[in-house]
Amino acid sequence: MDYLPLFFDLKQQRCLLVGGGGIALRKARLLVKAGARVRVVAPRVGAELASLVAGDGEVRLETYSAAQLQGCVLVIAATDDETLNAQVSRDARARNLPVNVVDSPRLCSFIMPAIVDRSPLVIGISSGGQAPVLARLLRARIESLVPAAYGRLAGLASRFRDRAKRLFTDVDRRRDFWEQHLQGPVAELVFSGRETEAETLLQKQLEAREQGLPETVRGEVYLVGGGPGDPDLLTFRALRLMQQADVVLYDRLVSEPVLDLVRRDAERIYVGKRRCDHALPQADINQLLVELAQRGQRVLRLKGGDPFIFGRGGEEIERLAEHHIPFQVVPGITAASGCAAYAGIPLTHRDCAQSVRFVTGHLQSDGINLNWPELVEPTQTLVFYMGLTGLTAICEALIAHGRSPATPAALVEKGTTPQQRVFSADIASLPAVVAANEVRAPTLLIIGEVVRLREKLNWFQAAGD
C-alpha cells in the first residue's frame, strides 16, 4: 500500500490554497464542502473562486510567501508555476503541514482522491497520483452503484448507534443486527423516500430485542421491469434489488443475460406464460408472492419490459396491498421504446407521427377485439405487443377499416439482443414476409410512416441483420 487512506476533519479549520485559476476553484469547492475556512493566495483570483470562499474564507491578492502558512492546518498548491509549487511544498513540509501539489505526486505528502460523496458516507479512490483518470473512471462506476440515499441511511443508523451499542454488548451480535437492517426492509424504505416509516420500523425492532421478544421477520416484494432484453438497459435500482433478493419469480420474456445478473444463490421460480400454456395461472402467481413474503423472504418479481405496460403488475401488487405486504415498483424500459430505438424507428416524428398508441395484439377466442376506427389515423404510430400470432388479422383489419395498404410496418424479433431481426414491408405484404421466415416470439409490431426512417436511422447491427 503506497498511501494510507485518511480522512481530515476540516470543519472551521484554516486551509491555504495557492492559486486563483480553474484548478484552484475545483479544489476550493471540495474544501468548502468539507467545512474548511479557505485562504486563497494569488496575484489574480477568478470571480467565482472569490465568491465561493467569501464569508469564513479570505482572498489575498498577493504573491505567495511562507508567512501565508501561519495558522493553517493543510496546504494545497494549484498553480501552473512548477518553481512556486515546489517552494510551497518545501515550506509546508518544513512546518509538518500536510501538502498537496496538483499533478505532482513527488511534491505531495497526501493525495487528493476521487470522491464519492454520500455524506456521512464518503468513499475515496486514489491511484497514488499514478493514474488519476482511472481513479475518476472507477469513481463514476461506484457512483452508479451506490444510491444517493445511502447518506440518509447512514444518518438513520447514526441516530440509533448508541442505543444498539448498549443493547448488543457483543460486537458480533451488533454487527449482525446492522448487517440485517442496512440491507433489508429498513434500507429499502429509506431508498424509497419513506424515512419516517424506516425509523419507526427500526425502533420497533430494537424495542422487541430490548423486551426479549423475537424480532419480527418481515418480507417484501420487488416488482422489477427487466427491460426488452439487453442487460445494459436495466436501471441501477433494478440491479441492486436483483442482487439482494432471496427468491425470484421470472417470466418467459426475461432474457438470459438479464437473469444472469440475479443473485447466484437465490431460488428461481419460472412463472412464464405462452399462448395456451401458462406455467402458473396469474391468480396462483399473485398468491405465491403473498406466501413467500409472509415467510419473511425478499421476493423479486422480474418481468420483461415494464411491469405496468401489459405486464399485469398492477394485479400483483393489488394483491400484496390487500395483505399489507410492503412492495416497491421499479419501472423498466418497455419493449415499444427499446425495440423501436434499436431498430432505428422513432415512435414519433414531427413530420409524420404526432402520437403513438400501444396496443395488445393478443388473440382471444373470438379474435382481436379492438376499436379499429381509432387505429386508422394516418398520423399516429401503432405498436402492437404480442402481435405475431395475430399479424395477418391485424393488418387485414386495419386495411378493412381504411388504413392504406401501403402503410409501412416492421416486425422486430428479439429486439435489443444480438439475435434481433427486423422485417420491414407495408401492411399488405408484411404477413407474407414474416411467413417466409422462421420468426419466433418475442416480437413487436410497429405500424406507421415512422418505419420509413429506419433505412436512414438504423444504428444497431445485430447478428440477425
pLDDT band of residue 274 (cuts 50, 70, 90) is low
pLDDT at 213: 76
Cβ–Cβ contacts within 10 Å for residue 179, how many? 10
Percent helix, strand, coil in the chain (nearest 5)?
40, 20, 40
Superfamily name with CATH number, domain 220-333: Tetrapyrrole methylase, N-terminal domain (3.40.1010.10)
pLDDT band of residue 429 (cuts 50, 70, 90) is very high
277-278 and 380-385 beta bridge pairing: unpaired
pLDDT band of residue 26 (cuts 50, 70, 90) is very high
Distance CA 106, CA 101 (A): 9
Determine if residue 43 is labeled as part of a ligand binding site.
Answer: yes
CATH for 336-457 is 3.30.950.10
Residues ≥6 apart with Cβ < 8 Å to 74: 8, 10, 13, 15, 16, 36, 97, 98, 99
Determine if residue 23 is labeled as part of a ligand binding site.
Answer: yes
Determine if residue 415 is labeled as part of a ligand binding site.
Answer: yes
Q: Look at 143 and 65; give whichever has higher pLDDT.
A: 65
Q: Tens of pLDDT along 163-216?
A: 999 988 888 888 888 888 888 788 888 988 889 999 998 998 888 888 877 666
pLDDT at 188: 87
pLDDT at 272: 83
pLDDT at 212: 79
pLDDT at 279: 67
Superfamily name with CATH number, domain 14-112: NAD(P)-binding Rossmann-like Domain (3.40.50.720)
Determine if residue 334 is labeled as part of a ligand binding site.
Answer: yes
The three three-digit cell numbers of residue 99, written as one number:
501538502
pLDDT at 31: 96
Q: Among 261-275, 319-333, 413-427, which stretch is predicted with the lowest mean pLDDT?
A: 261-275
Determine if residue 335 is labeled as part of a ligand binding site.
Answer: yes
pLDDT at 189: 87
Report whether 387 contacts 443 (CB < 8 A): yes
pLDDT at 179: 83
Distance CA 339, CA 414 (A): 8
Identify the top-confidence range among 73-87, 117-131, 359-373. 73-87
Determine if residue 22 is labeled as part of a ligand binding site.
Answer: yes
Residues ≥6 apart with Cβ < 8 Å to 10: 31, 34, 35, 36, 73, 74
Residue 66 clears pLDDT 70, i.e. is over it: yes
State the DSSP string of 369-422: ---HHHH--TTEEEEEET-STTHHHHHHHHHHTT--TT-EEEEEESTTSTT-EE
Residue 251 exposed, middle or buried by CB count within 10 Å (0-12, 13-18, 19+):
buried
Determine if residue 131 is labeled as part of a ligand binding site.
Answer: no
Determine if residue 309 is labeled as part of a ligand binding site.
Answer: yes
Percent of the chain with pLDDT over 70: 96
pLDDT at 463: 63
pLDDT at 224: 97
Which part of the chain is CATH 3.40.1010.10?
A: 220-333
Region 128-139 average pLDDT: 88
Residues ≥6 apart with Cβ < 8 Å to 227: 233, 234, 258, 304, 305, 332, 333, 338, 416
Which part of the chain is CATH 3.30.950.10?
A: 336-457
pLDDT at 365: 52
Distance CA 99, CA 107 (A): 8
- What separation, in Å, do the N-terminal and C-terminal C-alpha atoms of the chain show? 50
Determine if residue 93 is labeled as part of a ligand binding site.
Answer: no
Catalytic residue positions, numbered: 251, 273
Distance CA 303, CA 251 (A): 6
Q: Which of 174, 181, 121 is nearest to 152 (CA)?
A: 121
Q: Tens of pLDDT along 203-254?
A: 988 888 888 776 666 789 999 999 999 999 999 899 989 988 999 999 999 9
Distance CA 115, CA 125 (A): 6
Cα-based angle 278, 280, 284 (whole degrees, multiple of 5): 140
Residue for grid cell 490554497:
17
Region 445-464 average pLDDT: 90
Q: Among 202-211, 361-370, 427-436, which stretch is predicted with the lowest mean pLDDT?
A: 361-370
pLDDT at 342: 96
pLDDT at 376: 94
Residue 114 φ/ψ, nearest 5 degrees: -75, 135
Distance CA 373, CA 141 (A): 50
Which part of the chain is CATH 3.40.50.720?
A: 14-112
pLDDT at 219: 87
Residue 135 clears pLDDT 60, i.e. is over it: yes
Mean pLDDT of the chain: 91
Determine if residue 306 is labeled as part of a ligand binding site.
Answer: yes
Report whether 170 contacts 162 (CB < 8 A): no
Distance CA 1, CA 405 (A): 71
pLDDT band of residue 278 (cuts 50, 70, 90) is low
Region 301-318 average pLDDT: 94
Q: What is the DSSP letter of 117?
A: E
Region 264-284 average pLDDT: 80
pLDDT at 363: 59
Q: Supply the Cα-derived Rg of the chain in whole angstroms.
A: 30
Q: Which of 328, 390, 335 is nearest to 363 (CA)?
A: 390
pLDDT at 129: 82
